[in-house]
Chains A and B, each alone.
Chain A
């Protein structure tokens, strides 16, 4: 099956800093999504981005499907951005989501 790798596994930043999270996947996919899981466990969909670039406030994402990677950018980080960021790709064979191991982000005040 598809392998999804996220980097870095952990990231600690000061409030106001910018960050880039990466997601690599091993095969062609139907789509790719980025999720944020807050410290209380709630998962929220951030982007549905099979290709191209999207922006939502301080967050933006770019997927280069031909090179099998996606990047999530967080600008001017706030403490509320802390949590785990997951990348999930939809397999072409059975349409199921395969999840990466996540990037744990800690924003210090």
Chain B
């Protein structure tokens, strides 16, 4: 079983607020990812990290930022939330294995910006 956690699970917040979505994993995985998913739709990669002090932007343009100071922790921050940020945010981690890596997902954070 994968041990990857996200908090909060649900968040309702007003426009203009700063928010941080937490993601942590206890598997020692180097690679971590943030995806954005609208209900019933495909996942879009917004950020990823290959390890400590490594962060990259994904395919989907996002106004969020991430940091990777510790291997187990990969928080995502929105400096000023807007209604267009309403979505589900999924965190994942992976470790190269033989065969190639499998991504393990957290339970997600459902964000509603009013």
Contacts and interface: CB of A to CB of B under 8 A. Distances in A.
Given A1-B59, A84-B40, A102-B42, A42 B104 contact: no
Contact of A102 (B40, B44, B48, B90): B40
A99 B104 CA distance: 15
Contacts of B23: none
Contact of B104 (A41, A45, A88, A102): A45
Interface residues of A, number: 24
Interface string B44-72: 11001000000000110000000000000
Given A44-B105, A90-B100, A101 B42 contact: yes
Interface residues of B, number: 21
Interface string B84-113: 000010101000000110111101101000
Interface string A23-36: 00000001101000
B43 interface: yes
A50 B101 CA distance: 12
A98 B107 CA distance: 20
Interface in B17-57: 40-45, 48
